[in-house]
Amino acid sequence: MDRDAYLERLGATTDESADLFEHFEQRSFDGRTYHVLSDARHGLERGTVIVEDADAIIRGYPSIPRLLVLEPGVQSFFEDRETVVVEEKLDGFNVRIADVGEPLAFTRSGYICPYTTARARKLLSLEAFFDEHPEKTLCAELVGPETPYTTTDYEGIDTHDFRVFGVRDRETGEPLPVADRRAICEMYDFNQPRLFGRAPPESAAETVRDAIDELDAASREGVVMKSEPGDAMVKYTTEAQHHDELAYAFSLPFDHGRDFVFSRLIREAFQAAEFDEDEDRLQERAHDLGESILRPMVEAIQDVDDGETIGHRHTVRGDAESIDALFDHLHDQSMTIDVEADRREDGERVVEFVKVAESSRDRIKHYLEGGTR
Ligand code: ATP
Protein backbone atom coordinates (compact mmCIF):
# COMPACT_ATOMS: atom_id res chain seq x y z
CA MET A 1 0.00 0.00 0.00
CA ASP A 2 1.35 3.45 -0.89
CA ARG A 3 1.12 4.75 2.66
CA ASP A 4 2.14 8.33 1.95
CA ALA A 5 -0.56 8.87 -0.62
CA TYR A 6 -3.25 7.40 1.64
CA LEU A 7 -1.93 9.29 4.64
CA GLU A 8 -2.56 12.58 2.94
CA ARG A 9 -6.01 11.58 1.80
CA LEU A 10 -6.88 10.40 5.31
CA GLY A 11 -5.86 13.81 6.63
CA ALA A 12 -3.27 12.35 9.01
CA THR A 13 0.25 13.65 9.61
CA THR A 14 3.50 11.82 8.89
CA ASP A 15 4.13 11.58 12.65
CA GLU A 16 0.96 9.56 13.00
CA SER A 17 1.76 7.27 10.10
CA ALA A 18 3.34 4.31 11.89
CA ASP A 19 0.74 4.20 14.66
CA LEU A 20 -2.13 4.58 12.21
CA PHE A 21 -1.11 1.89 9.77
CA GLU A 22 -0.33 -0.52 12.58
CA HIS A 23 -4.05 -0.45 13.36
CA PHE A 24 -5.21 -1.16 9.81
CA GLU A 25 -5.92 -4.89 9.58
CA GLN A 26 -5.76 -6.68 6.27
CA ARG A 27 -8.90 -8.62 5.28
CA SER A 28 -10.07 -10.31 2.14
CA PHE A 29 -13.43 -10.76 0.47
CA ASP A 30 -14.06 -12.72 -2.70
CA GLY A 31 -10.38 -12.65 -3.57
CA ARG A 32 -10.08 -8.89 -2.97
CA THR A 33 -7.93 -7.37 -0.25
CA TYR A 34 -9.00 -4.44 1.91
CA HIS A 35 -7.66 -2.75 5.04
CA VAL A 36 -9.77 -1.91 8.07
CA LEU A 37 -9.03 0.53 10.90
CA SER A 38 -9.80 -1.52 13.99
CA ASP A 39 -10.38 1.39 16.38
CA ALA A 40 -10.83 5.13 16.18
CA ARG A 41 -7.59 7.09 16.07
CA HIS A 42 -6.11 10.33 14.82
CA GLY A 43 -9.53 11.72 13.99
CA LEU A 44 -10.53 8.69 11.91
CA GLU A 45 -13.53 6.58 12.82
CA ARG A 46 -13.32 2.89 13.70
CA GLY A 47 -14.25 0.90 10.62
CA THR A 48 -12.60 3.26 8.13
CA VAL A 49 -11.67 1.13 5.13
CA ILE A 50 -9.11 1.31 2.34
CA VAL A 51 -9.87 -0.74 -0.77
CA GLU A 52 -6.62 -0.51 -2.63
CA ASP A 53 -7.57 -2.07 -5.94
CA ALA A 54 -10.37 0.50 -6.28
CA ASP A 55 -8.19 3.28 -4.88
CA ALA A 56 -11.01 4.01 -2.43
CA ILE A 57 -11.21 5.22 1.15
CA ILE A 58 -14.51 4.72 2.96
CA ARG A 59 -14.70 6.63 6.20
CA GLY A 60 -16.31 4.95 9.20
CA TYR A 61 -19.71 6.05 10.50
CA PRO A 62 -19.11 8.49 13.39
CA SER A 63 -19.98 7.70 16.96
CA ILE A 64 -23.14 9.58 17.99
CA PRO A 65 -22.99 11.14 21.46
CA ARG A 66 -25.96 10.68 23.78
CA LEU A 67 -27.90 13.15 25.89
CA LEU A 68 -29.03 12.01 29.31
CA VAL A 69 -31.13 15.09 30.03
CA LEU A 70 -33.25 16.81 27.38
CA GLU A 71 -33.52 20.12 29.17
CA PRO A 72 -31.13 21.92 28.93
CA GLY A 73 -29.24 19.22 26.95
CA VAL A 74 -30.78 19.82 23.52
CA GLN A 75 -30.43 23.57 23.64
CA SER A 76 -26.85 23.54 24.85
CA PHE A 77 -25.75 20.81 22.43
CA PHE A 78 -27.12 22.72 19.43
CA GLU A 79 -26.22 26.20 20.64
CA ASP A 80 -25.40 28.46 17.67
CA ARG A 81 -27.04 26.08 15.21
CA GLU A 82 -29.99 27.20 13.16
CA THR A 83 -32.26 24.19 13.18
CA VAL A 84 -32.53 20.81 14.88
CA VAL A 85 -34.04 18.00 12.83
CA VAL A 86 -35.58 15.16 14.84
CA GLU A 87 -35.56 11.73 13.18
CA GLU A 88 -36.45 8.32 14.51
CA LYS A 89 -33.54 6.16 15.62
CA LEU A 90 -34.16 2.63 14.43
CA ASP A 91 -32.89 -0.44 16.17
CA GLY A 92 -31.03 -2.49 13.61
CA PHE A 93 -27.63 -3.04 12.13
CA ASN A 94 -25.51 -0.22 10.71
CA VAL A 95 -24.05 -0.68 7.23
CA ARG A 96 -22.28 1.57 4.79
CA ILE A 97 -22.80 0.72 1.16
CA ALA A 98 -20.16 1.94 -1.29
CA ASP A 99 -19.42 1.19 -4.92
CA VAL A 100 -15.84 -0.01 -5.23
CA GLY A 101 -16.24 -1.54 -8.69
CA GLU A 102 -19.29 -3.33 -7.28
CA PRO A 103 -21.54 -2.26 -4.41
CA LEU A 104 -20.42 -3.74 -1.08
CA ALA A 105 -21.91 -3.43 2.42
CA PHE A 106 -19.44 -2.66 5.20
CA THR A 107 -20.33 -3.21 8.84
CA ARG A 108 -19.71 -0.57 11.50
CA SER A 109 -16.37 -2.18 12.33
CA GLY A 110 -15.43 -2.29 8.64
CA TYR A 111 -15.96 -5.91 7.63
CA ILE A 112 -17.65 -6.63 4.33
CA CYS A 113 -20.80 -8.58 5.20
CA PRO A 114 -21.62 -10.95 2.32
CA TYR A 115 -25.22 -11.43 3.42
CA THR A 116 -26.00 -7.73 3.84
CA THR A 117 -24.28 -7.01 0.53
CA ALA A 118 -26.53 -9.53 -1.25
CA ARG A 119 -29.66 -8.18 0.44
CA ALA A 120 -28.77 -4.56 -0.35
CA ARG A 121 -28.22 -5.43 -4.01
CA LYS A 122 -31.62 -7.07 -4.08
CA LEU A 123 -33.64 -4.52 -2.12
CA LEU A 124 -32.11 -1.16 -3.10
CA SER A 125 -31.69 0.36 -6.57
CA LEU A 126 -27.93 0.65 -6.09
CA GLU A 127 -26.98 0.75 -9.75
CA ALA A 128 -29.10 3.79 -10.47
CA PHE A 129 -27.87 5.56 -7.33
CA PHE A 130 -24.15 4.89 -7.81
CA ASP A 131 -24.32 5.78 -11.53
CA GLU A 132 -25.18 9.30 -10.44
CA HIS A 133 -23.27 9.38 -7.13
CA PRO A 134 -20.23 7.11 -7.46
CA GLU A 135 -18.29 8.83 -4.67
CA LYS A 136 -20.99 8.61 -2.03
CA THR A 137 -21.69 6.07 0.72
CA LEU A 138 -25.21 5.12 1.70
CA CYS A 139 -25.51 4.79 5.47
CA ALA A 140 -28.37 2.46 6.27
CA GLU A 141 -29.88 0.41 9.05
CA LEU A 142 -30.78 -3.21 8.29
CA VAL A 143 -33.98 -3.69 10.32
CA GLY A 144 -36.67 -6.26 10.89
CA PRO A 145 -37.26 -9.52 12.74
CA GLU A 146 -35.21 -11.62 10.32
CA THR A 147 -31.62 -10.41 10.20
CA PRO A 148 -28.44 -12.11 11.41
CA TYR A 149 -27.75 -9.28 13.88
CA THR A 150 -30.93 -7.81 15.35
CA THR A 151 -34.52 -9.02 15.61
CA THR A 152 -36.57 -5.93 16.49
CA ASP A 153 -40.01 -5.95 14.89
CA TYR A 154 -41.20 -2.99 12.86
CA GLU A 155 -44.73 -2.66 11.61
CA GLY A 156 -44.86 -3.36 7.89
CA ILE A 157 -41.55 -5.26 7.81
CA ASP A 158 -42.24 -9.00 7.72
CA THR A 159 -38.66 -10.11 7.36
CA HIS A 160 -36.03 -7.40 6.81
CA ASP A 161 -35.48 -4.14 4.97
CA PHE A 162 -33.14 -1.15 4.81
CA ARG A 163 -33.73 2.36 6.07
CA VAL A 164 -31.29 4.93 4.70
CA PHE A 165 -30.38 7.54 7.34
CA GLY A 166 -27.35 9.14 5.73
CA VAL A 167 -25.64 9.88 2.44
CA ARG A 168 -21.99 10.83 2.88
CA ASP A 169 -18.95 11.55 0.80
CA ARG A 170 -17.13 8.27 1.11
CA GLU A 171 -13.64 9.73 1.41
CA THR A 172 -14.24 12.74 3.67
CA GLY A 173 -17.28 11.38 5.48
CA GLU A 174 -19.07 14.68 4.98
CA PRO A 175 -22.86 14.17 5.14
CA LEU A 176 -25.46 15.67 2.87
CA PRO A 177 -27.80 18.01 4.77
CA VAL A 178 -30.85 16.11 6.04
CA ALA A 179 -33.26 17.84 3.63
CA ASP A 180 -31.07 17.02 0.59
CA ARG A 181 -30.56 13.47 1.72
CA ARG A 182 -34.29 12.96 2.21
CA ALA A 183 -34.97 14.33 -1.28
CA ILE A 184 -32.35 12.09 -2.92
CA CYS A 185 -33.59 9.01 -1.08
CA GLU A 186 -37.09 9.71 -2.28
CA MET A 187 -35.84 9.88 -5.87
CA TYR A 188 -34.38 6.39 -5.60
CA ASP A 189 -37.24 4.99 -3.52
CA PHE A 190 -35.00 4.33 -0.53
CA ASN A 191 -37.02 4.05 2.66
CA GLN A 192 -35.90 6.34 5.49
CA PRO A 193 -36.47 6.75 9.21
CA ARG A 194 -39.47 8.83 10.17
CA LEU A 195 -39.00 12.58 10.42
CA PHE A 196 -40.65 14.02 13.54
CA GLY A 197 -39.99 17.67 12.85
CA ARG A 198 -37.63 20.61 12.76
CA ALA A 199 -37.28 23.25 15.44
CA PRO A 200 -34.87 25.93 16.62
CA PRO A 201 -32.59 24.74 19.46
CA GLU A 202 -34.59 26.65 22.10
CA SER A 203 -37.75 24.67 21.48
CA ALA A 204 -36.44 21.38 20.03
CA ALA A 205 -36.53 19.60 23.41
CA GLU A 206 -40.32 19.83 23.26
CA THR A 207 -40.43 18.23 19.80
CA VAL A 208 -38.13 15.48 21.10
CA ARG A 209 -40.22 14.95 24.22
CA ASP A 210 -43.39 14.48 22.12
CA ALA A 211 -41.58 12.10 19.78
CA ILE A 212 -40.18 10.11 22.71
CA ASP A 213 -43.63 9.78 24.32
CA GLU A 214 -45.05 8.46 21.06
CA LEU A 215 -42.13 6.11 20.40
CA ASP A 216 -42.12 4.82 23.95
CA ALA A 217 -45.81 3.95 23.73
CA ALA A 218 -45.03 1.93 20.58
CA SER A 219 -41.96 0.28 22.21
CA ARG A 220 -39.57 1.87 19.72
CA GLU A 221 -36.00 2.95 20.28
CA GLY A 222 -35.65 6.71 20.24
CA VAL A 223 -34.47 9.66 18.17
CA VAL A 224 -31.38 11.12 16.57
CA MET A 225 -31.25 14.91 16.47
CA LYS A 226 -29.26 16.43 13.61
CA SER A 227 -28.22 20.01 12.96
CA GLU A 228 -29.21 21.76 9.79
CA PRO A 229 -26.86 22.96 8.40
CA GLY A 230 -23.83 21.08 9.73
CA ASP A 231 -23.01 17.60 10.90
CA ALA A 232 -23.74 17.70 14.64
CA MET A 233 -25.76 14.70 15.87
CA VAL A 234 -26.91 13.48 19.25
CA LYS A 235 -29.21 10.65 20.33
CA TYR A 236 -31.80 10.04 23.03
CA THR A 237 -33.70 6.83 23.75
CA THR A 238 -36.98 5.63 25.27
CA GLU A 239 -37.70 3.82 28.52
CA ALA A 240 -38.97 0.87 26.46
CA GLN A 241 -35.59 0.62 24.75
CA HIS A 242 -33.65 0.74 28.03
CA HIS A 243 -35.77 -2.08 29.42
CA ASP A 244 -35.49 -4.13 26.20
CA GLU A 245 -31.73 -3.80 26.19
CA LEU A 246 -31.49 -4.77 29.85
CA ALA A 247 -33.70 -7.79 29.20
CA TYR A 248 -31.47 -8.68 26.24
CA ALA A 249 -28.31 -8.41 28.33
CA PHE A 250 -29.70 -10.26 31.35
CA SER A 251 -31.08 -13.07 29.20
CA LEU A 252 -27.40 -14.07 28.89
CA PRO A 253 -26.02 -12.65 32.12
CA PHE A 254 -22.43 -13.80 31.74
CA ASP A 255 -22.00 -12.81 28.08
CA HIS A 256 -22.75 -9.10 28.21
CA GLY A 257 -20.31 -6.72 29.80
CA ARG A 258 -21.06 -4.89 33.01
CA ASP A 259 -20.52 -1.57 31.23
CA PHE A 260 -23.38 -2.40 28.89
CA VAL A 261 -25.74 -2.92 31.80
CA PHE A 262 -24.52 -0.02 33.92
CA SER A 263 -24.84 2.51 31.08
CA ARG A 264 -28.50 1.48 30.51
CA LEU A 265 -29.28 1.89 34.21
CA ILE A 266 -27.76 5.36 34.23
CA ARG A 267 -29.88 6.38 31.20
CA GLU A 268 -32.96 5.16 33.02
CA ALA A 269 -32.11 7.07 36.21
CA PHE A 270 -31.64 10.41 34.45
CA GLN A 271 -34.80 9.93 32.41
CA ALA A 272 -36.79 9.02 35.52
CA ALA A 273 -35.48 12.11 37.33
CA GLU A 274 -36.47 14.32 34.39
CA PHE A 275 -39.77 12.70 33.34
CA ASP A 276 -41.36 10.97 36.33
CA GLU A 277 -42.79 13.77 38.36
CA ASP A 278 -45.36 11.68 40.13
CA GLU A 279 -44.68 8.87 42.54
CA ASP A 280 -46.94 6.33 40.77
CA ARG A 281 -45.10 6.79 37.50
CA LEU A 282 -41.75 6.28 39.20
CA GLN A 283 -43.04 3.20 40.96
CA GLU A 284 -44.27 1.75 37.67
CA ARG A 285 -40.88 2.37 36.05
CA ALA A 286 -39.07 0.76 38.96
CA HIS A 287 -41.32 -2.29 38.68
CA ASP A 288 -40.79 -2.65 34.90
CA LEU A 289 -37.06 -2.17 35.30
CA GLY A 290 -36.89 -4.93 37.89
CA GLU A 291 -38.87 -7.25 35.63
CA SER A 292 -36.58 -6.62 32.69
CA ILE A 293 -33.61 -7.61 34.84
CA LEU A 294 -34.89 -10.54 36.84
CA ARG A 295 -37.25 -12.42 34.54
CA PRO A 296 -34.84 -13.02 31.64
CA MET A 297 -32.15 -14.22 34.06
CA VAL A 298 -34.49 -16.68 35.72
CA GLU A 299 -35.61 -17.93 32.28
CA ALA A 300 -31.99 -18.44 31.24
CA ILE A 301 -31.30 -20.46 34.40
CA GLN A 302 -34.39 -22.59 33.79
CA ASP A 303 -33.48 -23.12 30.13
CA VAL A 304 -30.00 -24.36 31.01
CA ASP A 305 -31.53 -26.58 33.67
CA ASP A 306 -33.83 -28.05 31.00
CA GLY A 307 -30.85 -28.73 28.73
CA GLU A 308 -31.82 -26.08 26.14
CA THR A 309 -29.29 -24.12 24.08
CA ILE A 310 -29.14 -20.52 25.25
CA GLY A 311 -28.10 -17.62 23.04
CA HIS A 312 -29.56 -15.07 20.65
CA ARG A 313 -31.92 -16.62 18.09
CA HIS A 314 -32.06 -15.35 14.51
CA THR A 315 -33.75 -16.24 11.24
CA VAL A 316 -32.28 -15.36 7.85
CA ARG A 317 -33.61 -15.83 4.35
CA GLY A 318 -32.04 -15.39 0.93
CA ASP A 319 -30.18 -17.29 -1.75
CA ALA A 320 -28.29 -20.38 -0.61
CA GLU A 321 -24.89 -18.97 -1.52
CA SER A 322 -25.13 -15.75 0.45
CA ILE A 323 -26.39 -17.68 3.47
CA ASP A 324 -23.39 -20.02 3.27
CA ALA A 325 -21.15 -16.95 3.04
CA LEU A 326 -22.89 -15.47 6.07
CA PHE A 327 -22.14 -18.53 8.20
CA ASP A 328 -18.48 -18.46 7.08
CA HIS A 329 -18.44 -14.79 8.09
CA LEU A 330 -19.96 -15.53 11.54
CA HIS A 331 -17.55 -18.41 12.10
CA ASP A 332 -14.65 -16.10 11.18
CA GLN A 333 -15.79 -13.93 14.07
CA SER A 334 -15.36 -16.94 16.39
CA MET A 335 -19.06 -17.42 17.01
CA THR A 336 -20.51 -20.78 17.91
CA ILE A 337 -23.60 -21.29 15.77
CA ASP A 338 -26.28 -23.88 16.36
CA VAL A 339 -28.55 -24.34 13.32
CA GLU A 340 -32.06 -25.24 14.46
CA ALA A 341 -33.84 -25.33 11.07
CA ASP A 342 -32.75 -25.10 7.44
CA ARG A 343 -35.53 -25.22 4.83
CA ARG A 344 -36.77 -23.78 1.53
CA GLU A 345 -39.70 -21.39 1.47
CA ASP A 346 -41.01 -19.51 -1.59
CA GLY A 347 -37.84 -20.28 -3.55
CA GLU A 348 -35.55 -19.00 -0.79
CA ARG A 349 -33.43 -20.72 1.80
CA VAL A 350 -34.55 -20.00 5.36
CA VAL A 351 -32.26 -20.80 8.28
CA GLU A 352 -33.04 -20.47 11.98
CA PHE A 353 -29.99 -20.43 14.20
CA VAL A 354 -28.70 -19.58 17.65
CA LYS A 355 -25.52 -17.66 18.43
CA VAL A 356 -24.64 -19.86 21.35
CA ALA A 357 -23.81 -17.98 24.56
CA GLU A 358 -21.10 -20.27 25.87
CA SER A 359 -20.04 -18.20 28.89
CA SER A 360 -23.58 -17.94 30.25
CA ARG A 361 -24.31 -21.59 29.50
CA ASP A 362 -21.15 -22.80 31.24
CA ARG A 363 -21.36 -20.53 34.28
CA ILE A 364 -25.05 -21.24 34.87
CA LYS A 365 -24.40 -24.98 34.55
CA HIS A 366 -21.55 -24.70 37.04
CA TYR A 367 -23.76 -23.03 39.67
CA LEU A 368 -26.69 -25.36 39.01
CA GLU A 369 -24.39 -28.29 39.69
CA GLY A 370 -23.56 -26.77 43.05
CA GLY A 371 -20.39 -24.92 42.04
CA THR A 372 -19.26 -21.89 44.04
CA ARG A 373 -18.31 -18.37 42.94
P1 ATP B 1 -21.99 5.02 18.94
O2 ATP B 1 -22.84 5.77 17.98
O3 ATP B 1 -21.64 5.83 20.13
O4 ATP B 1 -20.82 4.35 18.30
P5 ATP B 1 -23.46 2.52 19.16
O6 ATP B 1 -22.66 1.81 18.16
O7 ATP B 1 -23.87 1.80 20.39
O8 ATP B 1 -22.85 3.89 19.62
P9 ATP B 1 -26.11 3.32 18.76
O10 ATP B 1 -26.31 3.72 20.17
O11 ATP B 1 -26.93 2.21 18.24
O12 ATP B 1 -24.66 3.02 18.37
O13 ATP B 1 -26.41 4.64 17.89
C14 ATP B 1 -25.85 4.96 16.68
C15 ATP B 1 -26.44 4.16 15.52
O16 ATP B 1 -27.82 4.42 15.35
C17 ATP B 1 -25.87 4.52 14.18
O18 ATP B 1 -24.64 3.90 13.97
C19 ATP B 1 -26.94 3.98 13.23
O20 ATP B 1 -26.64 2.66 12.87
C21 ATP B 1 -28.20 3.96 14.07
N22 ATP B 1 -29.30 4.79 13.57
C23 ATP B 1 -30.59 4.39 13.51
N24 ATP B 1 -31.37 5.34 13.04
C25 ATP B 1 -30.58 6.40 12.77
C26 ATP B 1 -30.83 7.71 12.25
N27 ATP B 1 -32.03 8.15 11.94
N28 ATP B 1 -29.76 8.53 12.10
C29 ATP B 1 -28.50 8.13 12.45
N30 ATP B 1 -28.23 6.91 12.94
C31 ATP B 1 -29.25 6.06 13.10
Q: What is the mean pLDDT of residues 162-183?
A: 97
pLDDT of 2 higher than 90:
no
Over residues 207-244, the pLDDT tens digits come to: 999 999 999 999 999 999 999 989 999 999 999 999 99
The rounded Å distance from CA 109 to ligand 1 centre is 13
pLDDT of 14 higher than 80:
no
**Which residues on adjacent β-strands are paired with residue 345?**
348
CA neighbor of 104 nearest in space, from 37, 54, 175: 54
Rounded Cα distance between 246 and 223, Å, is 19
pLDDT of 262 higher than 90:
yes
Residue ID of nearest Cα to ligand 1 atom 16:
89
Among 203, 237, 271, the domain-final residue is 237
pLDDT of 19 higher than 90:
no
250 and 298 share one domain:
yes
* Per-residue pLDDT, 12: 83
For residue 68, is it within any domain? no
233 and 246 share one domain:
no
For residue 66, is it within any domain? no
CA neighbor of 75 nearest in space, from 207, 268, 176: 207
For residue 25, is it within any domain? yes
pLDDT of 327 higher than 80:
yes
DSSP assignment of 175-197: BPPHHHHHHHHHHTT---PPEEE
Where does the pLDDT of residue 15 fall: very low under 50, low under 70, confident under 90, or very high at 90 and above?
confident
| Chain center to CA of 41 | 20
294 and 332 share one domain:
no
pLDDT of 13 higher than 90:
no
Cα radius of gyration rounded to whole Å, the chain: 22
The rounded Å distance from CA 229 to ligand 1 centre is 20
The rounded Å distance from CA 145 to ligand 1 centre is 18
Percent of the chain with pLDDT over 90: 91
For residue 94, is it within any domain? no
The rounded Å distance from CA 150 to ligand 1 centre is 13
Please tell me the number of Cα atoms within 13 Å of 356 on its side-chain side: 14
- In this structure, the number of other CB atoms found within 10 A of the CB of residue 244 comes to 19
41 and 27 share one domain:
yes
Where does the pLDDT of residue 7 fall: very low under 50, low under 70, confident under 90, or very high at 90 and above?
confident
For residue 362, is it within any domain? yes
CB distance 110 to 216 below 8 Å: no
228 and 245 share one domain:
no
| Chain center to CA of 347 | 29
Helix, strand, or coil (residue 166): strand
Residue ID of nearest Cα to ligand 1 atom 22:
89
Ligand 1 site: residues with CB under 6 angstroms? 61, 63-64, 87-90, 94, 141, 165, 193, 224, 235
Q: What is the mean pLDDT of residues 88-93?
A: 98
* Per-residue pLDDT, 1: 75
CATH of the domain at 298: 1.20.58.2250
Interface predicted TM-score (ipTM) of this complex, two decimals: 0.96
3 and 33 share one domain:
yes
Average per-residue pLDDT in the chain? 95
Among 235, 236, 242, 266, which residue has the most ligand 1 atoms within 8 Å of its CB, making it the best to mutate?
235
* Per-residue pLDDT, 276: 81
Over residues 279-290, the pLDDT tens digits come to: 999 999 999 999
Where does the pLDDT of residue 18 fall: very low under 50, low under 70, confident under 90, or very high at 90 and above?
confident
Phi, psi of 195 (to 5 degrees): -100, 120
For residue 21, is it within any domain? yes
* Per-residue pLDDT, 4: 81
The rounded Å distance from CA 138 to ligand 1 centre is 14
Cα angle at 41 between 35 and 47, to 5 degrees?
40
For residue 152, is it within any domain? no
Q: What is the mean pLDDT of residues 311-340?
A: 93
CB distance 25 to 187 below 8 Å: no
Residue ID of nearest Cα to ligand 1 atom 13:
64
Among 305, 337, 356, the domain-final residue is 305
The rounded Å distance from CA 64 to ligand 1 centre is 6
Residue ID of nearest Cα to ligand 1 atom 4:
63
* Domain range enclosing 46: 1-58
213 and 84 share one domain:
yes
Among 289, 305, 321, the domain-final residue is 305
Q: Ligand 1: which atom is nearest the Cα of residue 88?
A: 27
318 and 358 share one domain:
yes
Rounded Cα distance between 369 and 305, Å, is 9
231 and 245 share one domain:
no
83 and 215 share one domain:
yes
Q: What is the mean pLDDT of residues 110-121?
A: 96
81 and 199 share one domain:
yes
CATH of the domain at 77: 3.30.1490.70
For residue 37, is it within any domain? yes
249 and 299 share one domain:
yes
The rounded Å distance from CA 224 to ligand 1 centre is 8
Percent of the chain with pLDDT over 70: 100
Count how many domains the chain has: 4
* Per-residue pLDDT, 63: 96
Rounded Cα distance between 28 and 323, Å, is 18
Where does the pLDDT of residue 46 fall: very low under 50, low under 70, confident under 90, or very high at 90 and above?
very high
